[in-house]
Amino acid sequence: MRNIIVFFMFIIIITQSISQDTRTLLLTKFNNVQYQCTDPGCSSSTTMLVSNLRACEIACLLNTDCRTLTFDQSNNQCELFTDIPSQYGSLISQADFITLTAIDNKNLLACKYHQHYSFPFSLVLAVTTAINGTTASMTTTLSLLTKTSSTTSSSSSTTSSTTTAVAIRVWSATGSMSNKRNYHTASVLTNGKVLVTGGFNTAVLNSAELYDPSTAIWTNTTAMSTLRKFHIATILTNGNVLISGGNDGTNFLASAELYNSSTGTWTTTGNMEIVRGAHIAVLLTNGKVLVSGGDSGSGYLNNAALYDPSTSTWTAVSSMNGKRVSHVACILVNGNVLVAGGYNGIYLATAEIYNFSTNTWTNTTSMNYARQMSTISVLSNGKILVAGGDHGVSLNVAELYDPSSSTWTVTGSMNYARTGHAAIILANGKVLVTGGYNGNSAAELYDPLTGNWTMIGNMTASRSYHTISKLTNGTILVAGGVRNSTMYLKSAELY
Ligand SMILES: *[C@@H]1O[C@H](CO)[C@@H](O)[C@H](O)[C@H]1NC(C)=O
Ligand SMILES: *[C@@H]1O[C@H](CO)[C@@H](O)[C@H](O)[C@H]1NC(C)=O
Ligand SMILES: *[C@@H]1O[C@H](CO)[C@@H](O)[C@H](O)[C@H]1NC(C)=O
Ligand SMILES: *[C@@H]1O[C@H](CO)[C@@H](O)[C@H](O)[C@H]1NC(C)=O
Ligand SMILES: *[C@@H]1O[C@H](CO)[C@@H](O)[C@H](O)[C@H]1NC(C)=O
Ligand SMILES: *[C@@H]1O[C@H](CO)[C@@H](O)[C@H](O)[C@H]1NC(C)=O
Ligand SMILES: *[C@@H]1O[C@H](CO)[C@@H](O)[C@H](O)[C@H]1NC(C)=O
Ligand SMILES: *[C@@H]1O[C@H](CO)[C@@H](O)[C@H](O)[C@H]1NC(C)=O
Ligand SMILES: *[C@@H]1O[C@H](CO)[C@@H](O)[C@H](O)[C@H]1NC(C)=O
């Protein structure tokens, strides 16, 4: 009898979609075979420890240059080879090793392989893959080849199939901040860097840090003059960042300060007309900043004031019709300001509009759901999306305000109930919502065209009270937050 190596041979196709990038590998599987990189011309390999063969296959799939892998079942060592030089002679019989090699027009030599080993099998081939934008289902169809060796004419065939959904890593970790923080602010400066200020991590912070997208590194910048949490940041038309109010751990604050991004320094500016934190600020189309409501420590506020950058002063304006803290506000297309919801002893559904030319507040229709700490986003069609928030329990409901009819309409609900989450509009018009209380790492996208929410991959960490910022190139930066009531985060990640 000829002394041939008898392989069990399988055809495996693994496919994974990363954004628009589809990678398919047709692999031939050999049990008890090791691929050895013995030839001097052999390409480099990467060795890693993995939990199982599947993890090794995925590692190969994710390494766009990988053409061959060997997995040593005795020690879980996975070795990836970047291509297959013409050296199939380096396949050796070795117990516990599994080798998968790519079969494609670049390197197949499957025929050569057959010749080389007088391979006594014929192929039974099966493949399936399902791919969509956010999840790749990896279907591995193992087809035992029919044995047709020259010494026996008996044949057998078995087929097994397993499917594993592989979550695509749409989030990637980036540099971490120096400080863990939640209740901080984040502002994208005109130079593209992101300024993070203050917040809380067992103590209230005055420190500030800058994220540089070109290096993915955070560096300390000058600290604010005052410890602040529950403060708010507004980017002025001249590029300075206005920080107003907040709480220093003991008192609510009237003070405000300006960050000059070209000098990296802070200067104090006029005090607000009243102390407040957990208030809202919006930049009006005339360059002034409207603050409204908040907590004074001795009561919820309906007060509103305007900051004039040209005089560095605050002026009280008409008060809102209702007292509100942890409410939301948005500039409408006509320049008026919508404020909605919040809390003043009860959860609020009420909403009102500030007319900046007459300096008056007018009630508009109330939301369908009373809530505080929701998110608010202005869609490209001019409608306003309010999502989630707290009503004693976290809500998943979302609704749209149509400024032309002054009405609220319930739209699709999020897959997760969320409070302390973050939302931002993407360049494609969809709204990204991330995290929330308590220990939520999930992220989902709202499509204004369908009114539906779609899960995308989870963030690398569960976060609430984190910040979300859109970098100049459209990439989204999420920073800090709290994983649960005690674990503050300094990590940051990109979408
Ligand atoms: C994407 O594929 C996965 C796995 O097949 C499936 O669970 C998910 O619903 C799909 N998503 C969409 C948006 O079709
Ligand atoms: C955008 O910037 C981020 C941060 O620098 C970077 O990781 C990402 O690759 C950039 N995206 C594009 C499309 O250039
Ligand atoms: C940055 O500031 C933090 C305090 O806010 C400090 O602990 C850290 O050492 C500073 N990092 C550098 C590189 O100076
Ligand atoms: C920032 O500071 C520099 C130097 O003092 C000054 O020339 C510049 O006008 C400031 N920028 C703004 C926007 O205030
Ligand atoms: C406007 O709404 C407030 C509650 O936010 C309410 O107290 C007030 O009566 C309303 N005003 C009018 C004119 O309906
Ligand atoms: C503001 O109110 C005035 C007076 O009612 C009105 O003429 C004007 O159109 C309003 N402005 C906006 C942008 O709604
Ligand atoms: C994604 O996040 C949600 C909420 O935190 C969690 O329930 C789910 O298990 C996570 N999914 C994965 C694949 O980690
Ligand atoms: C999207 O929303 C529409 C209603 O707006 C609904 O009929 C449809 O089933 C939703 N599709 C998904 C995938 O949730
Ligand atoms: C917060 O997370 C840590 C680490 O996962 C855990 O040990 C702790 O029990 C959690 N605390 C709460 C309040 O869930």
At 409, phi and psi to the nearest 5? -130, 130
pLDDT at 371: 96
Q: Is the pLDDT higher at 388 or at 437? A: 388
Q: What is the mean pLDDT of residues 156-185?
A: 68
Position in ligand 3 atom list of the atom nearest CA 223: 5
Ligand 5 pocket, CB under 6 A: 321-322, 350, 363
CA angle 211, 212, 214 (to 5 degrees): 150
The yes-or-no verdict on residue 473 having pLDDT over 70 is yes
- Mutate which of 234, 242, 260 for ligand 4? The one with the most ligand atoms within 8 Å of its CB, which is 260
Contact predicate 275/323, CB 8 Å: no
Give per-residue burial for 137-161: e unless 16+ CB within 10 Å, then b.
bbbbbbbbbebebeeeeeeeeeeee
Which of 13-22, 93-102, 438-447 bottoms out in mean pLDDT, i.e. has the lowest?
13-22
Nearest atom of ligand 3 to the alpha carbon of 219: 13
Question: For residue 163, what are the contacts with CB-CB under 8 A and spacing of at least 6?
Answer: 128, 137, 138, 139, 140
Residue whose CA is closest, atom 12 of ligand 6?
A: 355
Nearest atom, ligand 4, residue 262 CA: 1
What gap in Å lies between CA 48 and CA 56, rounded to an integer?
9
- Ligand 3 surroundings by CB, under 6 angstroms: 178-179, 207, 220
Contacts 24+ apart (CB under 8 A), 206-210: 207/178, 207/179, 208/259, 208/266, 209/177, 209/178, 209/179, 210/264
Q: What confidence score (pLDDT) does residue 113 get?
A: 29
End-to-end CA separation in angstroms for the chain: 60
CA atoms within 13 A on the CB side of 271: 9
The verdict on the CB of residue 132 being under 6 Å from ligand 8 is no
- Looking at residue 478, its pLDDT comes to 98
Q: In the chain, what percentage of residues exceed pLDDT 90?
A: 64
Reading the block at residue 343, the tokens are 């809390």
Is residue 482 within 8 Å of residue 182, measured between CB atoms?
yes
C-alpha 307/C-alpha 242 separation (Å) is 9
Ligand 6: lining residues by beta carbon, under 6 Å: 334-336, 355, 357-358
Residue 12 pLDDT more than 60? Answer: no
Domain ranges of the chain: 24-168, 172-494
Whether residue 111 is predicted with pLDDT greater than 70 in this model: the reply is no
Residue 119 CA to ligand 3 centre (angstroms)? 64
pLDDT at position 98 = 86
Please report which ligand is nearest the Cα atom of 482: 9
> Nearest residue CA, atom 4 of ligand 6?
358
The answer, yes or no, to whether any atom of ligand 7 lies below 6 A from the CB of 459, is no
With cut-offs at 50, 70 and 90, classify the pLDDT of residue 2.
Answer: very low
Confidence (pLDDT) at 91: 66
Cβ atoms within 10 Å, residue 163: 12
d(CA 317, CA 142) in angstroms, rounded, equals 72
Contact 121, 146 (CB under 8 A): yes
> Quick count: other Cβ atoms within 10 Å of Cβ 309?
18
Write out pLDDT tens, residues 193-236: 999 999 999 999 999 999 999 999 999 999 999 999 999 999 99
> Residue 133's pLDDT is what?
41
Which CATH number is 172-494 given? 2.120.10.80
- Looking at residue 158, its pLDDT comes to 34
Lowest mean pLDDT among 82-96, 336-350, 361-375, 392-406: 82-96
Q: Tell me what percent of the residues of the chain surpass a pLDDT of 70.
A: 77
Q: Are 307 and 316 in contact (CB under 8 A)?
A: no
Q: How far is the CA of 229 from the centre of ligand 3 (A)?
A: 19
Give the distance, in angstroms, between the CA of residue 420 and the centroid of all CA atoms in the same chain. 15
| Ligand 2 atom 13, closest CA | 473
- Report pLDDT digits (tens) over 259-310: 999 999 999 999 999 999 999 999 999 999 999 999 999 999 999 999 999 9
Give the residue whose CA is nearest to atom 13 of ligand 6. Answer: 334
Give CATH for domain 24-168.
3.50.4.10
- Is pLDDT at 134 greater than 60 in this prediction? no
Beta carbon of 134 within 6 Å of any ligand 7 atom:
no
**Ligand 1 center to 254 CA (angstroms):** 50
